Structure 1
Amino acid sequence: MGLVIPFEEATGSGDIAKLAALARGDMGRVNETILSRADSRVAMIPDVANHLIESGGKRLRPMMTLATAALCGYTGQGHVKLAASVEFMHTATLLHDDVVDESDLRRGKLAARMLWGNEASVLVGDFLLGQAFRMMVEVGSLPCLDVLSTAATVIAEGEVMQLAAAKDTSTTEDDYLAVIRAKTAALFAAACEVGPILADRPKAEIAACRAYGMNLGIAFQLIDDALDYGGSSQKLGKNTGDDFREGKITLPVVLSFRRGPEAERAFWRKALEAGEIVEGDLDRAIGLMRKHKAIEDTIERARHYGAMSRDALGLFPASDWKDALLDVVDFCIDRAH
């Protein structure tokens, strides 16, 4: 295919620099696996897949698979294919999400659906899921296959839950947290859980790694919610305010709706439920969120889940890998600044 992904671009920098450095060797093998498994005699498949694969994602989820395996003393080779499987699952959900959400941008570039159409995006996402499960089978760990296949089911359920909640201003905070646990955090949790399973670690360590990933995933999504109204397009990799324009009910909306008087709630219903958005409505939405400290409190909730994620690793002795995983929590929260 002739595609080379610079490792520095794929892993990013800042607070995940230590994790990137520790995982460099294995991530090189993961990237090679990703490239070879994205190939196909059907030319459109690698074209669509590589458009997203090479777009500068940090490879955070597969790095977490590698890191938790190393944290638990795993010395085999299966973690490389499982990390690649995790990245393929993530990439497939992005391709599918952009179709459902009718998104124009992904990671600052035109979404694949804008270049090849919705049908191709969905089908290539299906191809990547198929390749992910092939690699899981090749690793030969039935418990790992169970964890990742269950995550795939839960993610799909989360997407449907989000679809059902779209434009519904009666959505509660608990409702929304249930969506993001399934839609986003489930893959973080599974990515972290398969490492200690491969290393044949005790149930307590497996549960600790899963809890680390689950809480990190919730914090990660909450920060994304905040950034959509209080961040920049560069940080988001999509247009600021896309959630608002798409009628998505995220936590800043839930908090603003609940805390505001009836006149403000009428505005939210008109904009999100009826889709009647005019010039200046996004600015008004952001103003209401600031008035009710909805963005600030969303970030505060993210910090709470981040603290839970950090505490989950307390079971493990000090090590470079543990320090690197703790740094990831800071990275996810600090994106809000």
Structure 2
Amino acid sequence: MSLDDKAQKPHDRLAEALADDMAAVNELIRTRMASEHAPRIPEVTAHLVEAGGKRLRPMLTLAAARLCGYGGPYHVQLAATVEFIHTATLLHDDVVDESGQRRGRPTANLLWDNKSSVLVGDYLFARSFQLMTETNNMRVLEILANASATISEGEVLQLTAAQDLATDEGIYLKVVRGKTAALFSAATEVGGVIAGATEAQVQALYTYGDALGVAFQIVDDYLDYAGEAATIGKNTGDDFRERKLTMPVIKAVVCADAEERAFWSRVIEKGDQHEGDLATALAIMARHGTLKATRAEALAWAEKARAALRCLPAHPLRDMLDDLALYVVARIN
């Protein structure tokens, strides 16, 4: 999911406030994605890294560290680490999903091949571990290593759960925490750890990142059914056509009568979709209020993120993080 490009953007304000740090992060990324012996590595990496992403995850690390008063150099290493992990997962995801486009450009697996994407992704994971060890902080290493495992676990879980009507909201949240929230929460948590923040502050930063990531994904899943193509950057109903069991569908399955369950089984589990099925799905969701309930869930997670910030020091960056949580759910208000 990408953030909306309209109106005032908190992530742009964050980028401006953290401009010097982000310049150092970008320079470190360019240096560490180099390879003396395998020129394809920087070619593939540069194609994705320089494709115009918002760098939100590394900015979360920088913001968390600065918010907690950090003045050392290692937040830059950690921010670059987070971006390398994110980039590695994108390379792998595009192979798994057989994607042909990302951020409006052909994917690396399309321009090169699947082998190159997978192996370069592996290289970036290795680079990320080299970077994180340079902080000489075992807790930081533990947090980011655990996040990497959670991301991979979430992707594998999604393979088995995505088209199984037995998937419930608990499993859905495990997938969401893997594919989105794990790196958000790790990004904010390590910023607090490297800054020597109190345990309460580190936990607050973790909770903020986790809740922000969950809200981020629920909004994306909601808008796939309730948004407009121009707003969400993709066609409405793409998740339906790809047979993804996201929160709106999961809630509808729970409420389904025998006829509705047969419908969901046909279109999601069996993939037997016909003209008009998306309209039927929307009508079932409207009947049971599942889109309204999904919207409420997203707003609740965003509020949880905002609440977590209240024990952190008063600071302009804290206000920007608060605005970011509001902004994530702004398109469904």
What TM-score do you get using the length of structure 1 for normalisation?
0.90
Between the aligned partners of 2:10 and 2:69, the Cα distance in structure 1 is: 23
Q: Deviation per CA, 1:169-216, whole angstroms, max 9, x where unpaired?
A: 121112211221233211111100111111112211111111111111
Larger mean CA deviation between 35-44 and 51-60 belongs to: 35-44
- Which of 10, 24, 29 aligns to 2:24? It is 29
Between the aligned partners of 1:94 and 1:217, the Cα distance in structure 2 is: 16
Look up the match of 1:17: 12
Q: CA deviation at 1:24?
A: 1.2
Q: CA deviation at 1:233?
A: 4.8
In the superposition, relative to structure 1, how do residues 189 and 14 fare at CA in structure 2: closer, same or farther (>3 Å)? same
- Which of 100, 116, 131 aligns to 1:135? It is 131
2:98 is the counterpart of 1:102: yes
Q: CA deviation at 1:13?
A: 5.9
Q: Deviation per CA, 1:79-133, whole angstroms, max 9, x where unpaired?
A: 0111011011111111212222223332233332222222222111111111111
What TM-score do you get using the length of structure 2 for normalisation?
0.91
Q: CA deviation at 1:308?
A: 0.8
Percent identical:
48
Matched AA of 2:93: D
Q: CA deviation at 1:235?
A: 4.8
* Structure 2 residue runs without a partner (length 5+): none
Look up the match of 2:109: 113
2:275 is the counterpart of 1:244: no
Q: Is the 8 A contact 2:65 2:192 kept in 1?
A: yes
* Structure 1 residue runs without a partner (length 5+): 1-9
Between the aligned partners of 2:231 and 2:31, the Cα distance in structure 1 is: 30
* Aligned residue-pair number: 327
Matched AA of 1:65: T
Larger mean CA deviation between 281-290 and 67-76 belongs to: 281-290
Q: CA deviation at 1:64?
A: 0.4
- Which of 146, 150, 155 aligns to 2:146? It is 150
Look up the match of 1:269: 265
Between the aligned partners of 2:289 and 2:102, the Cα distance in structure 1 is: 28
- Which of 136, 145, 155 aligns to 1:159? It is 155
Q: Is the 8 A contact 1:107 1:237 kept in 2?
A: no
- Which of 59, 84, 87 aligns to 1:88? It is 84
2:301 is the counterpart of 1:305: yes
Compute the RMSD of aligned alpha carbons.
2.1
Between the aligned partners of 1:44 and 1:243, the Cα distance in structure 2 is: 33
Between the aligned partners of 2:237 and 2:40, the Cα distance in structure 1 is: 31
Larger mean CA deviation between 74-83 and 51-60 belongs to: 51-60
Matched AA of 1:298: T
Q: CA deviation at 1:274?
A: 0.8
